[in-house]
Structure 1
Amino acid sequence: MPAPLDQPAATGAGDASTDPTAAAVCDDVHDSKEVVLRRYFLQEWELVSAILRRIVAAGGVAEPADVHRIRSIMDKYQEEGQLLEPYLEDIISPLMSLVRSKIMELGAATDELLEIIKPLCIIIYTLVTVCGYKSVIKFFPHQVSDLELAVALLEKCHTMSSATALRQESTGEMETKCVVLLWLYILILIPFDISSVDTSIAATDHVPGSEVVPLVTRILDICKDYLSNSGPMRRMSGLLLARLLTRPDMLKAFSRL
């Protein structure tokens, strides 16, 4: 016998009004893609945050599985990078602080340093590809004293041999080089006399602006090599060179060559 008109008809097990999962699916169908992705990322952020805390607690040592997990989560938002921007500082700042502190602790020339920072740079560079470099570098360390540290690290990275671009990507070599190039890019934007932080000329009679300082020459030599690279290092080195060579102090120095 059909139910009386004044009583609701019985609902099936899959009715969205009684099934929370079905209701969530219905919400996803009606919501915009951005709203759905934001909802899912809020759930995944708890995992990402826990992994980051674990890396920081371990002094920068990141397990490959943790790096892969963060990377796979971030890669899902390639078309919606703006959703991650509110979280960039919480991700980038601690990782770059670890990179900086490890350089100071271990020295830029050590292989141990690279083994620690390469996984960190994989995470950072993944965010560069998702959100764009301009959004990411805002949270890089930018003390003037970091310039010489970053150049020394770039030189160490440059000595890493790689058979193929695929191998570079899988081991973090390419990502590390790109992150260091971007770090130098943000440091070069700071208005200061580069010769004042170049310890190689500290004991000489160098006159500011009179010649190209050795620190700049070291950057130029490496960037020129990367310009012939077909990967993202060419773009990053191009950005760095464009900023470096248009600095007022560089224009004066090069005009005297």
Structure 2
Amino acid sequence: MDTTGNSSSLSTYLNPEEDDEHDTKERVLLRYFLQEWALVKSILDRIVANDGATIPSDVNKIRFVIDKYQEQGQLLEPYLESIVNPLMSLVHSKSMQLRVDTDDVLDIIKPICIIIYSLVTVCGYKSVIRFFPHQVSDFEIAVTLLEKCHIGNSLTSLRQESTGEMETKCVTLLWLYILVLIPFDISSVDTSIVNSNQLGGLEPSPLVIKILEISKDHLSSSGPMRRFSGLVLSRLLTRPDMSMAFVRPSYA
């Protein structure tokens, strides 16, 4: 029996790089990502085990792997849930601690958001945000994170990029983008309102005002923050309970 053909196939399977030139780009990239997934998964497991603590080399390794698939983001989509879920769970849990120790918490959140934002640039935001937390109680948490990031807005854009501030703002805006669609009374989750009678009629709650002010500031910036702020505002201001926001002079 002639086993030449089978031997050739087995050789190609064991040494896939030998047949790369005869394969499609997509199949080659998928093959190599399957090999790199073990590295990505081990780093993710380490980040989760360390309660979100990261080292720059780990973040850079994951970014390097993700960025290689810039033109073939669909190859990463089967793995998005496994990457985004644990990372956004960390962002969520750490954001709940922001009122206690802001700087230290943000130092943990920013590198995580760098990884998440890398996925956004490669796979598209619509694919990534499907795996963001989206409970009503998350709304105030996300606004608090956005506000804390906005406080350091005096930093230069270069520094924002190098420290993960830009990525954190973008991820948080996308988080709010899905949360504002949930049908609920925003004032009901605003803990700054001691008494609901403080709001007159359909006047926006303090949480809404914060989003409007911060998003308007980002509209004057260049890059993705302008785009994502526009997405948040378009969804927020078209909510049925936001009709009065259109006629308030401060936010018109």
- Provide the TM-score with structure 2 as the length reference: 0.89
1:59 and 2:48 aligned: no
Distance 1:91 1:208 in 2: 43
Deviation of the 1:107 alpha carbon: 3.0
- Partner amino acid, structure 1, of 2:205: V
Q: Which residue number in structure 2 is paired with residue 111 of structure 1? A: 103
When residues 207 and 172 of structure 1 are mapped into structure 2, their CA distance, relative to the original with a 3 A threshold, is closer
Q: Which residue number in structure 2 is paired with residue 46 of structure 1? A: 38
Distance 2:131 2:198 in 1: 33
Residues 146, 172 of structure 2: 8 Å contact kept: yes
Deviation of the 1:124 alpha carbon: 0.3
Distance 1:256 1:171 in 2: 36
Structure 1 gap segments, 5+ residues each: 1-15
Structure 2 gap segments, 5+ residues each: 1-7
When residues 162 and 48 of structure 1 are mapped into structure 2, their CA distance, relative to the original with a 3 A threshold, is farther
Q: Deviations over 1:37-68 (max 9, x none)?
A: 00000000000000000000000001110000
Q: Please state whether the residue corresponding to 1:113 is helix, strand or coil.
A: helix
Which residue, out of 181, 187, 198, partners 2:179? 187
Query: How do 1:1-257 residues align onto structure 2 when only pairs under 5 Å count?
Result: 24-107=16-99, 110-206=102-198, 210-252=202-244, 254=246
Distance 1:71 1:191 in 2: 35
Q: Which has the larger helix fraction?
A: 2
Deviation of the 1:165 alpha carbon: 2.1
Distance 1:94 1:63 in 2: 17
Q: Deviations over 1:152-181 (max 9, x none)?
A: 111110011454322211110100110111
Q: Identity over aligned residues, as a percent?
A: 68
Across the aligned residues of Structure 1 and Structure 2, the Cα RMSD in angstroms comes to 2.4
Deviation of the 1:25 alpha carbon: 3.9
- Provide the TM-score with structure 1 as the length reference: 0.87
When residues 42 and 22 of structure 1 are mapped into structure 2, their CA distance, relative to the original with a 3 A threshold, is closer
When residues 204 and 249 of structure 1 are mapped into structure 2, their CA distance, relative to the original with a 3 A threshold, is closer
Deviation of the 1:120 alpha carbon: 0.1
Higher mean alpha-carbon deviation, 229-238 vs 104-113, is at: 104-113
Deviation of the 1:210 alpha carbon: 1.8
How many pairs does the alignment contain? 244
Residues 113, 171 of structure 2: 8 Å contact kept: yes
Distance 1:38 1:215 in 2: 43
Distance 1:182 1:162 in 2: 22
Q: Which residue number in structure 2 is paired with residue 12 of structure 1? A: none
When residues 64 and 204 of structure 1 are mapped into structure 2, their CA distance, relative to the original with a 3 A threshold, is same
Residues 199, 205 of structure 2: 8 Å contact kept: no
